[in-house]
Amino acid sequence: MRVLAAMSGGVDSAVAAARAVDAGHDVVGVHMALSRSRAQHRNGSRGCCSIEDAGDARRAADVLGIPYYVWDLSEEFEETVVGDFLSEYAAGRTPNPCVRCNEHIKFSALLDRGLALGFDAVATGHYARIEVAGGGRRELHRSADPLKDQSYVLAVMGPERLARSLFPLGDAPSKEAVRAEAAARGLSVSAKPDSYDICFVADGDTQGFLRDRLGAKPGEVVDADGKVLGEHDGAYAYTVGQRKGLGLTRPAADGRPRYVLEVRPQSNQIVVGPSELLSVDEISAGKTVWLADDVPAGEWTDVQVQVRAHGEPVPAQVRRRPADDGAGATGTGEAVSNVGGAGAAAAGADGARDGGALEARLSTPLRGIAPGQSLVVYSGTRVLGQSTITRARRGAPLPA
């Protein structure tokens, strides 16, 4: 096959490209330039888009003896990833930019360009496995190394893109083994540190980035009964479950810490309260993408769900709903409420994909679930689908 290897400049993508070459594919390396910001591309940037990364990727391609190109995808990245990040926070939701980048850039813009140029597939350095089941059906599974598994952020890609993807590191036992392999191959990136933080927030200050882009919008901090406790400079800077940075000068009557329970963008209010009100056991979600065609619609199915990239999966029951039945969305645009009948509105949704909506009932309550987070459905190691959380609530009463 003709394979386009996405080379970020890190050790994972370099070894993935090398394994694709070993597998006999006709491989071409490409580095995606995702920003025109000088700050983001400076040496020593904390994310995966620093200026040295393109050079590291080129040197790796030279060692592998494959052609190498840099593609400017900065316009697509700004519109689909950075734009989504800003609009989601402005709407009181908590997005995952890595999910959006995989959806819109690595497995849409990059893949589409590759297919147009005659490539058959894209290979990346993600830690995930593709297994071929009966009838040739391709399934996305967790990687062999549970500590590095990235299936959570890949679940949004959909079956068509999965069919055109290769994850050569899926069977790697550990990151240390990948580094050792890189060193044995003579790749200079073998000891390069992992990227971290949000790649387009060069200094790691997410709140400062949001403030610069969205501006100051002072509002009230209130408790679950609507009592004003303080002020904030912008509701977008807060997320459900947050404890620090609330700026409250008076402690709670019982002396216990307060947490963000809800973000209300329409009224520009932050609702805070005790930790037990963060626990939820029912989740509604929309814009669902299914990788499995064997999950029946309208029926409760026993699965596991995961709501954070490095979170633990919990047993749950999920039910698929058609796109037009309105499940999980009210159209109000308000954020999630975990505070019962405290005057909060339910979360809105941007509309559903063909996969429709999703409901989940958790066997174990989870804390701090925010609208905008990605909910990924598993059956063992297999990824069944992904949906964007619109509302989380407690169905069972709190213990007395």
Please pick, among 48, 49, 98, 199, the residue that the annotation labels catalytic: 199
Q: Of 354, 392, 388, 156, which is closest to residue 285 (Cα–Cα)?
A: 388
Q: Of 241, 134, 174, 219, which is closest to residue 12 (Cα–Cα)?
A: 174
Those residues whose C-beta lies under 8 Å from the C-beta of residue 149, and which sit 6 or more positions away, are 127, 128, 142, 143
Q: Of 288, 337, 296, 291, which is closest to residue 317 (Cα–Cα)?
A: 296
Bridge partners of 315, per DSSP, are: 304
Count CB atoms within 10 A of the CB of residue 200.
22
Please pick, among 48, 49, 98, 101, the residue that the annotation labels catalytic: 101
Cβ–Cβ under 8 Å, residues 174 and 145:
yes
Those residues whose C-beta lies under 8 Å from the C-beta of residue 184, and which sit 6 or more positions away, are none
Cα–chain-centroid distance for residue 139?
A: 19
Helix, strand, coil percentages in the chain from 3-state DSSP, rounded to 5: 25, 30, 45
Cβ–Cβ under 8 Å, residues 143 and 169:
yes
Element (H, E) at 42: none
Distance, in Å, from the CA atom of 71 to the CA atom of 153, rounded to the nearest integer, reads 23
Cβ–Cβ under 8 Å, residues 114 and 71:
no
Query: Is 101 a residue of the active site?
Result: yes
What is each CA distance from 307 to 148, 190, 343, 361, in whole angstroms?
A: 16, 31, 26, 13
Distance, in Å, from the CA atom of 9 to the CA atom of 54, rounded to the nearest integer, reads 6
Query: Is 49 a residue of the active site?
Result: no
What is each CA distance from 266 to 91, 100, 109, 149, 334, in whole angstroms?
A: 8, 25, 33, 37, 6
Distance, in Å, from the CA atom of 286 to the CA atom of 352, rounded to the nearest integer, reads 5
DSSP 8-state assignment for residue 107: I
State the catalytic residues: 101, 199
